[in-house]
């Protein structure tokens, strides 16, 4: 009896995973297939990118400040507080920028996408699209995935910059380090990791591959749960919660493995 239940649960799990990858494959494949829903794409880029700018600026700035504040204590112990810019730039660009932007967007945009598609599912709007001869994946999923793939790296760049700026504020007014010194160490850090193709700092590649992957994870997980919604408005709530939980966990787990892979490709 227990074995049977376990077996059923495993089957369901594998089936869901298969469904997810089929959705991902179709959504990404449709990027290159006409008709292109350009207006939907721009609308989504606006919603995901411009819409998330506020929370990304806010979280980035305060994270940069608190990071500078906490590490200043440690660095002072070793008399290394001149290098605070290196520490902030390294952590923001490689790790905190992408992950924080990812988590914020998962909460704000992921939940929104899941709720919207979920409501469309339960009010038969998805069936209506199908009936009117439109593939809902092409019309709804592809623009959202593409918009997230493009906008998350952009948000991350902004997040990195504003975080480093937050660090600058603490270095200048709390530690009394001149801004010129702070930014000199920031640039030193950026260039220290080596270059790809002579000009692109390896840190940038690390810092931009991650948000690109996170953008895909957030949008696909949200669309998957949204389209799978059943059970009326309660179902919409469940889909939204599942999206935020799954996307956030996946971001943190995938971040670890991505870092491993990227470090082996671009050794410091």
Partner 1 sequence: MTDEEDRRKQQGERRHPSDKDETAMPRRAHDSSRVRAAIRTELEEVAEESLGTQTETRPVPRVISVENVTLSFEETVLENVSFAARSGETICIVGESGTGKSTILKLLLRLLIPDQGRVAIDGEDITHLTFDDALKVRQKMGMVFQGAALFDSMTVYENVAYPLREHTDLQEDEIEARVREKLEFVDLEPHKVMEQLPSELSGGMKKRVGIARGLANNPEIMLYDEPTSGLDPLTTATITYLILKLQRELGVTSIVVSHDIRSSFRMASKIALLANKRIGFFGTPEEMTGSDDPYIREFLGGF
* Residues near partner 1, by CB under 8 A: 120, 123-125, 127-128, 130-135
Tokens of 114: 């899941």
Q: Residue 70 or residue 123: which is nearer to partner 1 going by CB?
A: 123
Q: Which is nearer to partner 1, 130 or 260 (CB)?
A: 130
Residue 179 corresponds to which tokens in the numbers above?
């801004």
- Which is nearer to partner 1, 118 or 166 (by Cβ)? 118
Residue 132 CB, nearest approach to partner 1 (Å) = 5
Judged by CB, which is closer to partner 1: 8, or 188?
8
Q: Following DSSP, what letter does each residue of 202-248 receive, concatenated?
A: HHHHHHHHHHHHHHHHHHHHHHHHHHT--SHHHHHHHHHHHHHHHHH
Q: What is the 3-state secondary structure (H, E, C) of 76-104?
A: HHCCCHHHHHHHHHHHHHHHHHHHHHHHH
Q: Which is nearer to partner 1, 38 or 180 (CB)?
A: 38
Do 107 and 244 form a contact (C-beta atoms < 8 A)? yes
Closest separation between CB of residue 125 and partner 1, Å? Answer: 5
Q: Closest distance between partner 1 and the C-beta of residue 134, in Å?
A: 6
Residue with tokens 């089936």: 15
Q: Nearest distance from residue 65's CB to partner 1, in Å?
A: 39
Nearest approach in angstroms of CB 116 to partner 1 is 8
* Beta partners for residue 201, in sequence order: 195
């Amino acid at each position: 009896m227990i074995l049977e239940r376990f077996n059923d649960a495993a089957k369901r799990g594998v089936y869901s995973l298969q469904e997810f990858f089929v959705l991902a494959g179709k959504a990404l494949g449709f990027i290159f297939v006409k008709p292109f829903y350009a207006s939907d794409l721009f609308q989504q880029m606006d919603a995901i990118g411009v819409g998330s700018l506020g929370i990304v600026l806010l979280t980035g700035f305060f994270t940069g400040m608190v990071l500078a504040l906490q590490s200043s204590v440690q660095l002072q112990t070793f008399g290394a507080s001149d290098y605070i810019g290196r520490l902030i730039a390294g952590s923001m660009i490689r790790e905190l920028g992408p992950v924080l932007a990812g988590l914020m967007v998962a909460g704000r945009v992921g939940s929104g996408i899941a709720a919207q598609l979920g409501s469309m599912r339960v009010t038969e709007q998805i069936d209506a699209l199908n009936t009117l001869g439109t593939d809902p994946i092409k019309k709804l999923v592809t623009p959202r995935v593409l918009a997230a793939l493009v906008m998350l790296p952009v948000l991350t760049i902004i997040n990195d910059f504003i975080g480093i700026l937050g660090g600058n504020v603490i270095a200048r007014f709390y530690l009394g380090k001149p801004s010129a010194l702070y930014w000199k160490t920031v640039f030193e850090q950026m260039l220290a990791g080596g270059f790809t193709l002579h000009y692109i700092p390896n840190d940038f590649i690390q810092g931009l591959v991650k948000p690109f992957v996170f953008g895909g994870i957030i949008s696909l997980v949200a669309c998957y749960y949204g389209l799978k919604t059943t059970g009326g408005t309660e179902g919409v709530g469940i889909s939204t919660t599942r999206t935020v939980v799954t996307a956030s966990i996946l971001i943190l787990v995938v971040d670890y493995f991505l870092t491993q892979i990227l470090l082996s490709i671009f050794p410091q």
